[in-house]
């Protein structure tokens, strides 16, 4: 038995009397990372949103966290560690879980480096350190390689169109901002101090993006937008046929696959660059 | 008459026992008497006591909220001499909501450090609504309460709009989740701190009601008669508004806005025991508590595991009833 004290992203001290073996991951990106570092044998429950990999839902108990968190189901699983992200849970629910004597580790994701940092943290917590460090190192390397390759390329204006009604794009505080920048583009939402701000059609015309990315679960977003505002048909991205469908999870869920999204994005923006990655 | 009252009392007591029993037996962990029996015989498995405590705090919170809201409803109706008055309709709940949301967005750290900061902020918000409503109830004291009701409703919309503005402005911060969850209203996150505050409030508001029950009866005769009979109207009015704001504010801080209890329950109580405030004030807290606790129980049983936010459920029952009362009231006046 080893007793470990760790400090989570909310600054709270967490005492783990032994290596956790009954872990509850209540955020889809954390579940994904646990599988990526080979820690799934220690998982015992996931939330209904944890749909990748698919076996996460079949091999673990699935817990409802929305619209209300099923506290009873969580406690009856008798977990020895609960992993959550700060943005998915209200502080009262986290407080209640802590009061019931279960260690709750809160993770925060605000920039790309938080992903690799938290992969290393998970490796320590779940005793899968070697694999976690290897994964995190290789993901960090993808970042630095891409940054190096794209730094002298033309920075095309890019829009990530989340939704068409209301018109929402990725803003300054989203991960996508950082991804577009690394991939050698310029996010047109970079001046908007939010994650996913609402914008007007005029804004799109003024910024005139060279590329418009639409998430796969909302492919028709741009064509619907054009049918409402026909003028948008003359945006550069539309004229150049640069309306590109991307897989939503690769851009909207901070996890290992975010870096696949980064590689894909780089290939989209700069087809001429050769990258040492096969995707 | 006495034996009828006794019968009602026994029926309510029986109902409450049943509701408590089922509330402790139903849940996603295991539905049935197992948990309860294990606890009573001291053979609980690890975790079982925690689950029982979750269910108990949730049930008690619902009960105490229902009790306080019902008594506050009686107060409001006596004050305005209008059966449509209720802390939710008069904007006390959304005032409390605005107070709580302001704290959650502007002073998040304070709110999460001091547990009493949130109830205090909600109380202050409640007063924001109670003061203009109180002023209007003096100025328009002989107009059947409608100007006051409409003042309350308008304020309620205004405060809801402000809360919406806060959500919009701070939509990206840590506190967003807290605000949204708070705005929906729920018993799922009831804590024992919340339960103990709610218990103090429920007892306080009921005892005060019983103390002034005679004066409330006289208030129904109208202001001139009340003056003539020596009822200190202004003092009672002020006290009632402050106590309601305190109660509704601090309970709403823990549960979020729950509407229309103060409308439905007093009406039913009066139809059972008549308009005597003493009797309705004894019956209403138990009846209201049982009503809200059973709403929450049904909610959890029909939509397991955790149900919908309770404010949705009480509105579904309460708003049709509100419209019914409104039309009946109008017909009586014509």
Q: Looking at residue A97, what is its pLDDT?
A: 87
Q: Looking at residue A261, what is its pLDDT?
A: 95
Does a structural domain hold residue B41? Answer: no
Is the pLDDT at B304 greater than 90? The verdict is: no
Strand intervals (E) in B208-280: none
- Whether the CB-CB separation of A81 and A43 falls below 8 Å is answered with no
Q: How confident is the model at residue B111 (pLDDT cuts 50, 70, 90)?
A: low
User: Which DSSP category does A160 fall into?
Assistant: E
Same domain, A54 and A127: yes
Q: Looking at residue B172, what is its pLDDT?
A: 57
Within 8 A of A78 by CB-CB distance, chain B residues are 46-47
B137-153 burial, b if ≥16 CB within 10 A, otherwise e? beebbeeebeebbebbb
CA B166/CA A187 separation, integer angstroms: 27
- Whether the CB-CB separation of A275 and A146 falls below 8 Å is answered with yes
CA A126/CA B196 separation, integer angstroms: 39
**Mean pLDDT of all residues in chain A?**
91
Same domain, A216 and A160: yes
Are the Cβ atoms of B306 and A93 closer than 8 angstroms? no
Which residues lie closer than 8 Å to A234 by C-beta, 6 or more apart?
Answer: none
CB atoms within 10 A of CB A215: 19
Which residues lie closer than 8 Å to A205 by C-beta, 6 or more apart?
Answer: A231, A232, A235
Q: Total structural domains in chain A? A: 2
What is the nearest CA distance from A34 to chain B, expressed in angstroms? 25
Same domain, A116 and A9: yes
Closest B-chain CA to A66: B306
Handedness of CA A266, A271, A276, A279 (dihedral sign): positive
Handedness of CA B210, B212, B214, B219 (dihedral sign): negative
User: Which DSSP category does B322 fall into?
Assistant: H
The domain boundary residue, chosen from A111, A139, A167: A139
Q: How confident is the model at residue B332 (pLDDT cuts 50, 70, 90)?
A: low
Closest B-chain CA to A90: B178
Does a structural domain hold residue A278? Answer: no
Q: Looking at residue B154, what is its pLDDT?
A: 93
User: Which DSSP category does B116 fall into?
Assistant: T
Are the Cβ atoms of B191 and A96 closer than 8 angstroms? yes
Share of residues in chain A with pLDDT > 70 (%): 99
Tell me, yes or no, if B230 comes closer than 8 A to chain A by beta carbon.
Answer: no
Which of A91, A95, A106, A193 has the highest number of chain B CBs within 10 A, making it the mutation to test binding with B? A91
The domain boundary residue, chosen from A94, A114, A139: A139
Q: Looking at residue B181, what is its pLDDT?
A: 57
Q: Looking at residue A155, what is its pLDDT?
A: 94
C-alpha closest to that of A108 among A29, A189, A195 = A29
The alpha helices in B26-145, defined as continuous H runs, are 34-40, 48-80, 92-106, 108-113, 117-139
Does a structural domain hold residue A63? Answer: yes
User: Which DSSP category does A63 fall into?
Assistant: E
Does a structural domain hold residue B114? Answer: yes
Closest A-chain CA to B185: A68
Q: How confident is the model at residue B183 (pLDDT cuts 50, 70, 90)?
A: low
Within 8 A of B177 by CB-CB distance, chain A residues are 87-91
Does a structural domain hold residue B219? Answer: yes
Q: Looking at residue B83, what is its pLDDT?
A: 83
pLDDT digits (tens, 9 = 90+) for B13-38: 999 999 999 988 888 777 777 778 87
Which of B25, B32, B50 has the highest number of chain A CBs within 10 A, making it the mutation to test binding with A? B50
C-alpha closest to that of A25 among A46, A53, A55, A1 = A46
**CATH code: domain of residue B115:** 1.10.3470.10
Q: Looking at residue B298, what is its pLDDT?
A: 87
Does a structural domain hold residue A108? Answer: yes
Residue span of the structural domain in which B84 resides:
58-333
Closest A-chain CA to B192: A96
Are the Cβ atoms of B188 and A88 closer than 8 angstroms? no
Q: Looking at residue B27, what is its pLDDT?
A: 80
Instruction: Name A246's bridge partners.
Output: A215
pLDDT digits (tens, 9 = 90+) for B132-163: 988 888 888 777 778 888 999 999 999 988 88
Same domain, A19 and A128: yes
Does a structural domain hold residue B63? Answer: yes
Same domain, A127 and A215: no
CA A59/CA A71 separation, integer angstroms: 20
Higher pLDDT among residues A134 and A97, named by residue: A134
Which residues lie closer than 8 Å to A56 by C-beta, 6 or more apart?
Answer: A31, A32, A35, A40, A43, A46, A50
Closest A-chain CA to B46: A78
Interface of A with B (CB under 8 A): 64, 67-73, 75-76, 78, 86-93, 95-96, 99-101, 173, 194-195
- Whether the CB-CB separation of A46 and A56 falls below 8 Å is answered with yes
Strand intervals (E) in chain A: 4-7, 13-16, 23-25, 43-47, 61-63, 81-85, 104-107, 156-164, 167-169, 185-187, 211-215, 243-246
CA A116/CA A138 separation, integer angstroms: 9
Are the Cβ atoms of A72 and B46 closer than 8 angstroms? no
pLDDT digits (tens, 9 = 90+) for A181-228: 999 999 999 999 888 888 999 999 999 999 999 998 888 889 999 999
Does a structural domain hold residue B117? Answer: yes
Within 8 A of A101 by CB-CB distance, chain B residues are 50
Does a structural domain hold residue B21? Answer: no
Residue span of the structural domain in which A254 resides:
152-269
Tell me, yes or no, if B49 comes closer than 8 A to chain A by beta carbon.
Answer: no
Cα–Cα distance list, B334 to B142, B144, B327 (Å): 17, 13, 11
Does a structural domain hold residue B205? Answer: yes
Q: Looking at residue A87, what is its pLDDT?
A: 76
Is the pLDDT at B112 greater than 70? The verdict is: no
C-alpha closest to that of B252 among B197, B211, B207, B203 = B197
The domain boundary residue, chosen from A109, A139, A169: A139
Share of residues in chain B with pLDDT > 90 (%): 27
**Is this prediction's ipTM beyond 0.90?**
no
Within 8 A of B191 by CB-CB distance, chain A residues are 92, 95-96, 99
Same domain, A49 and A174: no
Does a structural domain hold residue B265? Answer: yes
Q: Looking at residue B278, what is its pLDDT?
A: 92
Query: Cβ-count burial of B251 within 10 angstroms (0-12 exposed, 13-18 middle, 19+ buried)?
Result: buried
Which residues lie closer than 8 Å to A30 by C-beta, 6 or more apart?
Answer: A83, A84, A85, A107, A118, A122, A255
Does a structural domain hold residue A146? Answer: no
Q: Who among B172, B174, B182 is closest to A194 (CB)?
A: B172
Is the pLDDT at B280 greater than 70? The verdict is: yes
Higher pLDDT among residues B107 and A19, named by residue: A19
Residue carrying the six token digits 């009856």: A76
Provide the CB-side half-sphere exposure for B129 (13 A, CA): 36
Q: Total structural domains in chain B? A: 1
CA A247/CA A218 separation, integer angstroms: 10
Does a structural domain hold residue A274? Answer: no
Q: Who among A75, A89, A95 is closest to B47 (CB)?
A: A75
Q: Looking at residue B185, what is its pLDDT?
A: 72
Are the Cβ atoms of B27 and A67 closer than 8 angstroms? no
Say how far residue A141 (Cα) sits from the centre of its chain.
Answer: 18
Which of A27, A73, A92 has the highest number of chain B CBs within 10 A, making it the mutation to test binding with B? A92
Helix/strand/coil for A74? helix
Q: Looking at residue B177, what is its pLDDT?
A: 57
pLDDT digits (tens, 9 = 90+) for B197-247: 999 999 999 999 999 999 888 888 877 888 888 888 888 888 999 999 999
How many helices (H) and strands (E) are present in chain A, helices listed first? Answer: 12, 12
Is the pLDDT at B333 greater than 60? The verdict is: no
Q: How confident is the model at residue B109 (pLDDT cuts 50, 70, 90)?
A: low
Higher pLDDT among residues A3 and A256, named by residue: A256
Q: Looking at residue B176, what is its pLDDT?
A: 58
Q: Who among A64, A89, A101 is closest to B177 (CB)?
A: A89
Tell me, yes or no, if B142 comes closer than 8 A to chain A by beta carbon.
Answer: no
Is the pLDDT at B113 greater than 70? The verdict is: no
Task: Give me the helix-helix angle, B192-211 and B233-255, nearest 10°.
Answer: 160
Closest B-chain CA to A93: B189
Does a structural domain hold residue A101? Answer: yes
Is the pLDDT at A89 greater than 90? The verdict is: no
Tell me, yes or no, if B44 comes closer than 8 A to chain A by beta carbon.
Answer: no
How many inter-chain contacts (A to B, CB under 8 Å) are there?
77
Helix/strand/coil for B240? helix
Same domain, A74 and A185: no
Query: Minimum mean pLDDT among B4-8, B24-28, B67-71, B246-250: which range?
Result: B24-28
Tell me, yes or no, if B193 comes closer than 8 A to chain A by beta carbon.
Answer: no
Q: Kindly state the average pLDDT of the residues A35-49.
A: 94
Same domain, A179 and A253: yes
- Whether the CB-CB separation of B145 and B81 falls below 8 Å is answered with yes
**Mean pLDDT of all residues in chain B?**
84
Tell me, yes or no, if B256 comes closer than 8 A to chain A by beta carbon.
Answer: no
**CATH code: domain of residue A190:** 3.40.50.1980
Tell me, yes or no, if B174 comes closer than 8 A to chain A by beta carbon.
Answer: yes
Within 8 A of A89 by CB-CB distance, chain B residues are 177
Q: Looking at residue B108, what is its pLDDT?
A: 65
Same domain, A118 and A163: no
The answer, yes or no, to whether the previous bond of B154 is cis (omega within 30 of 0) is no
Are the Cβ atoms of B189 and A86 closer than 8 angstroms? no
- Whether the CB-CB separation of A157 and A207 falls below 8 Å is answered with yes
């Amino acid at each position: 038995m080893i007793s470990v004290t760790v400090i989570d992203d909310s600054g709270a001290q967490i005492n783990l009397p032994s290596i956790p073996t009954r872990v509850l991951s209540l955020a889809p990106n954390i579940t994904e990372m646990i599988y990526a570092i080979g820690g799934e044998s220690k998982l015992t429950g996931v939330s209904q949103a944890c749909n990748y990999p698919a076996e996460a839902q079949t091999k673990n108990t699935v817990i409802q966290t929305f619209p209300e968190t099923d506290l009873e189901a969580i406690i009856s699983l008798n977990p020895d560690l609960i992993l959550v992200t700060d943005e998915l849970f209200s502080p009262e629910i986290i407080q209640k879980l802590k009061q019931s004597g279960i260690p709750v580790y809160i993770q925060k994701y605000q920039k790309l480096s938080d992903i690799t940092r938290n992969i290393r943290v998970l490796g320590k917590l779940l005793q899968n350190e070697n694999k976690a460090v290897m994964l995190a190192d290789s993901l960090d390397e993808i970042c630095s390689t891409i940054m190096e390759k794209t730094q002298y390329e033309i920075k095309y204006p890019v829009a990530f169109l989340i939704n068409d009604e209301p018109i929402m794009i990725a803003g300054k505080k989203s991960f996508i901002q950082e991804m577009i920048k690394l991939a050698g583009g310029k996010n047109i939402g970079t001046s908007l101090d939010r994650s996913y701000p609402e914008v007007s059609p005029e804004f799109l015309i003024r910024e005139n993006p060279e590329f418009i990315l639409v998430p796969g679960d909302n492919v028709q977003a741009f064509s619907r937008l054009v049918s409402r505002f026909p003028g948008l048909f003359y945006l550069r991205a539309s004229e150049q046929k640069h309306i590109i469908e991307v897989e939503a999870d690769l851009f909207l869920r901070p996890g290992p696959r975010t870096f696949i999204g980064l590689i894909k994005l780089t290939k989209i923006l700069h087809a001429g660059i050769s990258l040492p990655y096969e995707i | 008459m006495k034996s009828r009252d006794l019968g009602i009392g026994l029926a309510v007591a029986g109902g409450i026992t049943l509701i408590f029993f089922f509330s402790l037996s139903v849940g996603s962990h295991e539905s049935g008497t197992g948990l309860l029996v294990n606890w009573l015989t001291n053979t609980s498995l690890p975790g079982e006591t925690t689950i029982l405590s979750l269910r108990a705090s949730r049930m008690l919170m619902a009960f105490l909220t229902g009790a306080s809201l019902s008594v506050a409803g009686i107060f409001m109706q006596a004050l305005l001499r209008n059966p449509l008055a209720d802390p939710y309709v008069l904007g006390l709940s959304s005032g409390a909501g605005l107070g709580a949301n302001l704290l959650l967005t502007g002073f998040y750290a304070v709110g999460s450090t001091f547990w009493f900061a949130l109830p205090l902020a909600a109380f202050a918000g409640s007063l924001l609504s109670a003061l203009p409503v109180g002023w209007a109830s003096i100025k328009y004291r002989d107009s059947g309460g409608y100007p006051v009701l409409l003042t309350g409703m308008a304020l309620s919309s205004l405060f809801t709009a402000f809360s919406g503005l806060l959500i919009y402005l701070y939509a990206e911060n840590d506190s967003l989740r807290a605000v949204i969850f708070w705005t929906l209203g729920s018993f799922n996150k009831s804590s024992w701190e919340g339960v103990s505050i709610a218990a103090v409030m429920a007892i306080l508001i009921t005892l005060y009601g019983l103390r002034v029950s005679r004066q409330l009866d006289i208030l129904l005769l109208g202001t001139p008669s009340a003056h003539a009979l020596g009822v200190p109207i202004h003092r009672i009015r002020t006290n009632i508004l402050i106590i309601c704001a305190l109660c509704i504010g601090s309970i709403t801080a823990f549960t979020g806005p729950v509407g229309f209890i103060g409308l439905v329950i007093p009406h039913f109580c009066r139809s059972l025991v008549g308009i005597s405030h003493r009797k309705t004030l004894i019956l209403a807290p138990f009846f209201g508590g049982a009503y809200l606790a059973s709403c929450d129980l049904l909610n959890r049983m029909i939509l397991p595991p955790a149900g919908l936010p309770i404010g949705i459920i009480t509105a579904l029952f309460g708003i049709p009833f509100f419209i019914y009362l409104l039309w009946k009231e109008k017909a009586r006046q014509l």
